[in-house]
Structure 1
Amino acid sequence: MVLDPFTLLVITAAMAAASALYLAAEWGSVRERSLLLWSAGFAIVAVGSSLALLRSSGYLLFGIWFPNGLLIVAHWLFLAGVAGFTRVRLPHAWWLLAVVWLAMLFLPDGPWWSKAMMCVQSVLVAITTLRAGLLLRPQGGALSVGAAQLRFVLLAHGLFYLAKAALAVAPEAIVNLASFRGAVIQISLVEGVMAIMLLAMSMTGTERHRREERIAQIAARDPLTALDNRRALHLRAPQLLEQASPASPGAVLLIDIDHFKQVNDLHGHDAGDRLLVGLSDLIRGALPHGALAARLGGDEFVILLRGVSAAAAQVLGQDLREAFAHQARAMFATPEPVSLSIGVALFDQPDKELSHWIKRADEALYASKRKGRDRMELDAFAPMQQH
């Protein structure tokens, strides 16, 4: 097969249409807005590539100006998709791209018309694409493989269009948009085919990684309270436990709701769920930086603190008890007061597993239950030296 301009445009249209359909199918299962924007961008590329075939028949308006404008719109949609993926709001100034391109309609016909048209189009595509690539930068962590690939492809694609703009206006360059004459045009058509394939692959990989992250987050969350579940706690706790030392111990707070069954029996399980959600909100609001909190099951919760003294851990527990008791009284009337019993264990040995410290906190929790509930007890084997 000879890779003449007509053949390259047909390949481009076919690949763009296939990419649009594939990304639309992905959007059907993932429902990420960026996938829909990228799909629309590829659909527009397919339409523009098909219209570009008309220029060989003499339809210059719909064969040159309109397809080139569609190419700019497509890249703007790629930018909008990346902005949606990165949660960045684009300023309204980006709409000026349309004004600049519309102004090209009044460009006087002449020997420089093709060069000026290609230069302006290339600059607008380059600006849009480079901006999209720069939005995909690591923030608080490394980029996923798909996002890193998409960033590389976008930046390379944008730099190519900058070079294309410079070459198009070079004095010795031959550029004739009507007949596809000129090395710049030939190279651009080949690059367009490659860019479509690479962009579609990296866009799909980017969203697939996001979907996998969300699935992992869902699997790690308690569905009712949105706190970590038991599995997530045991996965995340070792890193926190490793920071413990006799000079800087951490603390485990094991929390149980007193007389929780009365709420379910008298007011229904929906009421019990609201109480659990209310307690989880209090816990979430009280957590210092770097701490962990999880729902172990039923009405039992756990908090892991790092670098705290026994006194600081007890202050946090006491504040929770008081806030929860006030909240429970305001929400539901019960024969026995609904309150919190808390067991606290300090951990200062990084070689011990989480289950060891939870067992110690559990013993302190049952001590508080035996002593009448609505209280907090410190593990009897807590270190004598406390930070």
Structure 2
Amino acid sequence: MAFDPLTMLTITIALALAASLYLAIEWQTVREPALLFWSAGFALISVGCILALLRSSGLLLVGIWFANGLLITSHWLFFAGVARFTEVRLSRAWLLAVAIWFAMLLLPNGPEWSKIMLLVNSLLIALITIRASFLLRPRGKSLGAGAAQLRFVLLGHGLFYIAKTIPVLVPGTLIDLASFQGQIIKISLVEGVMALMLISLSMTGTVRYRREKRIERLAARDPLTAMYNRRALEARAPKLLDGVSPKHPGALLLIDIDNFKQVNDLHGHAAGDKLLVALGEMIRQALPEGSLAARLGGDEFVILLRDASPERITNLGDLLRQQFQSAAAQTFATPEAVTLSVGASLFDQPPASLAALIEQGDVALYESKRGGRDSIRLVDRTSNAEPLTG
């Protein structure tokens, strides 16, 4: 089968339709808005190529003007999808790229008509595509291998369109858009098919990376408070605990809400959830750098500190108790005050396990509850074993 222009257009139509359908199906699963832009872009490419086939029937307005207009629009949709994926807001000025092309309908049909059209078409697509590739720069965080590949594919695609403008400026170069004549036109069709395949594969890889990261985050986070869950804490705690030494003691604070049941019983579980979210936010804001915090379940939270001291522990515990009691009293009226009890353990040797450490904190928490609640009980398990109550 000869790879003539009509054959290349037919292949492009099939590939673009397949890519559009596949990305639309992916959107049904992932619900990533960028997929809709990219799917629409590939759909427009297929429609544009179908219109381009009409040139052989003499329908030049539709087969050239509108077909190439749809090609520009499809690249703009790719650009919009990249902007949506990278959370960059586009200026409305970028819509001028499409408007400029259709404004060229006012140009008279002269001997240089095909060259002018190819020049403007190439520059507009190059501008859009290269700008899209720049949006995919890492900027301090990885977007995944798929995004990196998409970035370079778009950059290469844009540079190719810049290169297409060079033959246009050479006198005597044959360019006839009406009959697909001219070496640069045939090369463009081949490059278009290759770029189409690479762009669609890169887009899919980009979205899959984000989906995997999202699943990973959801698996590590408590769905209500967005704090780490116990599983995530167990995965991250060893690094912190292994650094514990007499010079750099560690500490665990186990936090429990006093009279939490009254909030649920009197104001409903939605009120209780609101209180848990508020406590989670207080912990996040008060958490020292390099520390870990998690929701173990129910109304129980845990904090792991490094470079801890009795003063640092009691200051953190008292700060959380005061903030929480004030917020709870202002929000929900209950027969008994809704407060915090804190059980803390200070240690200077890596514990046998996180579970064993939590058990030690649980013992201290029980002492805090038994002592009247709304208090912090610290058990010093370092070389100085004197307990301290706050």
Contact 2:227–2:295 (CA<8 Å) still a contact in 1? yes
Which residue in the other structure is 1:54 paired with?
A: 54
Deviations 1:211-261 (A, max 9, x none): 222222222222222221111111222333345444444432210112223
1:262 matches 2:259:
no
From the superposition, tell whether residues 352 and 162 of structure 1 become closer, same or farther in structure 2 (CA, over 3 Å): farther
**Which amino acid in 1 is paired with 2:251?**
A
**Which amino acid in 2 is paired with 1:92?**
R
Shift of 1:28: 1.7
Shift of 1:181: 0.9
From the superposition, tell whether residues 333 and 142 of structure 1 become closer, same or farther in structure 2 (CA, over 3 Å): closer
Which segments of 5 or more consecutive residues in structure 1 lack a partner in the other structure? none
Deviations 1:44-72 (A, max 9, x none): 10111010111122211111111111111
Which residue in the other structure is 1:304 paired with?
A: 304
Shift of 1:177: 0.7
Distance (whole Å) between structure 2 residues aligned to residue 313 and residue 330 of structure 1: 26
Query: After the TM superposition, which of the residue ranges 335-344 and 186-195 deviates more from structure 2?
Result: 335-344
Shift of 1:139: 3.2
Deviations 1:299-356 (A, max 9, x none): 1101223444432332121111011112222333334322111122345446864334
**Which amino acid in 2 is paired with 1:255?**
I
Which residue in the other structure is 2:84 paired with?
A: 84
Shift of 1:185: 0.5
Contact 1:251–1:310 (CA<8 Å) still a contact in 2? no
**Which amino acid in 2 is paired with 1:360?**
Q
Distance (whole Å) between structure 1 residues aligned to residue 13 and residue 200 of structure 2: 13
Distance (whole Å) between structure 2 residues aligned to residue 69 and residue 98 of structure 1: 7
Distance (whole Å) between structure 1 residues aligned to residue 156 and residue 205 of structure 2: 18
Which residue in the other structure is 2:168 paired with?
A: 168
Deviations 1:278-312 (A, max 9, x none): 32232233234443221101111012234444323
From the superposition, tell whether residues 158 and 250 of structure 1 become closer, same or farther in structure 2 (CA, over 3 Å): farther
Distance (whole Å) between structure 1 residues aligned to residue 10 and residue 104 of structure 2: 26
From the superposition, tell whether residues 351 and 161 of structure 1 become closer, same or farther in structure 2 (CA, over 3 Å): farther
**Which amino acid in 1 is paired with 2:142?**
A
From the superposition, tell whether residues 290 and 117 of structure 1 become closer, same or farther in structure 2 (CA, over 3 Å): farther
- Once superposed, what is the RMSD of the aligned Cα atoms? 2.2
Query: After the TM superposition, which of the residue ranges 79-88 and 153-162 deviates more from structure 2?
Result: 153-162
Any idea what SS the aligned residue of 1:293 has?
strand
From the superposition, tell whether residues 332 and 110 of structure 1 become closer, same or farther in structure 2 (CA, over 3 Å): closer
Shift of 1:265: 4.0
Query: After the TM superposition, which of the residue ranges 235-244 and 71-80 deviates more from structure 2?
Result: 235-244
Contact 2:114–2:177 (CA<8 Å) still a contact in 1? yes
Which residue in the other structure is 1:281 paired with?
A: 281
**Which amino acid in 1 is paired with 2:147?**
A
From the superposition, tell whether residues 257 and 5 of structure 1 become closer, same or farther in structure 2 (CA, over 3 Å): same
Contact 2:293–2:304 (CA<8 Å) still a contact in 1? yes
Contact 1:363–1:379 (CA<8 Å) still a contact in 2? no
Any idea what SS the aligned residue of 1:379 has?
strand
Contact 1:167–1:173 (CA<8 Å) still a contact in 2? yes
Which residue in the other structure is 1:338 paired with?
A: 338
Contact 2:225–2:276 (CA<8 Å) still a contact in 1? yes
TM-score of the two chains, using structure 1 as the length reference: 0.92
**Which amino acid in 1 is paired with 2:186?**
Q
User: What does 1:219-230 correspond to in 2, within 5 Å?
Assistant: 219-230=219-230
Contact 2:143–2:209 (CA<8 Å) still a contact in 1? no
Query: After the TM superposition, which of the residue ranges 30-39 and 240-249 deviates more from structure 2?
Result: 240-249
Query: After the TM superposition, which of the residue ranges 61-70 and 255-264 deviates more from structure 2?
Result: 255-264
1:194 matches 2:215:
no
Any idea what SS the aligned residue of 1:295 has?
strand
Shift of 1:378: 1.9
Any idea what SS the aligned residue of 1:127 has?
helix
Contact 2:348–2:382 (CA<8 Å) still a contact in 1? no
From the superposition, tell whether residues 347 and 50 of structure 1 become closer, same or farther in structure 2 (CA, over 3 Å): farther
**Which amino acid in 1 is paired with 2:125?**
V
User: What does 1:129-278 correspond to in 2, within 5 Å?
Assistant: 129-278=129-278
Contact 2:256–2:340 (CA<8 Å) still a contact in 1? yes
Which residue in the other structure is 2:388 paired with?
A: none
Distance (whole Å) between structure 1 residues aligned to residue 103 and residue 314 of structure 2: 70
Distance (whole Å) between structure 1 residues aligned to residue 214 and residue 126 of structure 2: 32
**Which amino acid in 2 is paired with 1:367?**
E
Which segments of 5 or more consecutive residues in structure 2 lack a partner in the other structure? 386-390
From the superposition, tell whether residues 92 and 181 of structure 1 become closer, same or farther in structure 2 (CA, over 3 Å): same
Any idea what SS the aligned residue of 2:380 has?
coil
| Residue correspondences, number | 385
Contact 2:259–2:336 (CA<8 Å) still a contact in 1? yes
Any idea what SS the aligned residue of 1:296 has?
strand
**Which amino acid in 1 is paired with 2:81?**
G
**Which amino acid in 1 is paired with 2:124?**
L
From the superposition, tell whether residues 248 and 164 of structure 1 become closer, same or farther in structure 2 (CA, over 3 Å): farther
Deviations 1:26-58 (A, max 9, x none): 112222110000011011101110101111222
Distance (whole Å) between structure 2 residues aligned to residue 140 and residue 343 of structure 1: 39
Query: After the TM superposition, which of the residue ranges 258-267 and 171-180 deviates more from structure 2?
Result: 258-267
**Which amino acid in 2 is paired with 1:208?**
R
Which residue in the other structure is 1:93 paired with?
A: 93
TM-score of the two chains, using structure 2 as the length reference: 0.91
Which residue in the other structure is 1:33 paired with?
A: 33
1:45 matches 2:45:
yes
Distance (whole Å) between structure 1 residues aligned to residue 319 and residue 232 of structure 2: 26
From the superposition, tell whether residues 62 and 278 of structure 1 become closer, same or farther in structure 2 (CA, over 3 Å): same
**Which amino acid in 1 is paired with 2:282?**
L
